[in-house]
Amino acid sequence: MSRGMPRLPRPLMDLWDWQSQAACRDVNPELFFSPESERGVRKRAREMVAKSLCGTCPVQPECRQHALSVGEPYGVWGGTTESERDNDLPEQRKSA
């Protein structure tokens, strides 16, 4: 490889391999993403169930970091809700 040639990107499987170990891999995604009309107690209850599954997951840190790094605007990822990730973003930018 010559010095002027850019490196090839890492294989996609390397970037996403953690998902194959996720506790949610065989769970209905509706548990993690709210319908547009869902609010209040019903939304909090669904998020609590989703977050409890995340609490058992061996790749929770990778999932959370992914959601923060791509600015995932929807759903429960790595045990965090949309609003919790919004609160974490300023801290992530400071530490970057």
* Binding-site entries for [4Fe-4S] cluster: 24, 54, 57, 63
Q: How far is CA 85 from CA 5, 19, 20, 66, in A?
A: 37, 19, 23, 11
Report the binding-site residues: 24, 54, 57, 63
CB-based contact 67:80 (threshold 8 Å): yes
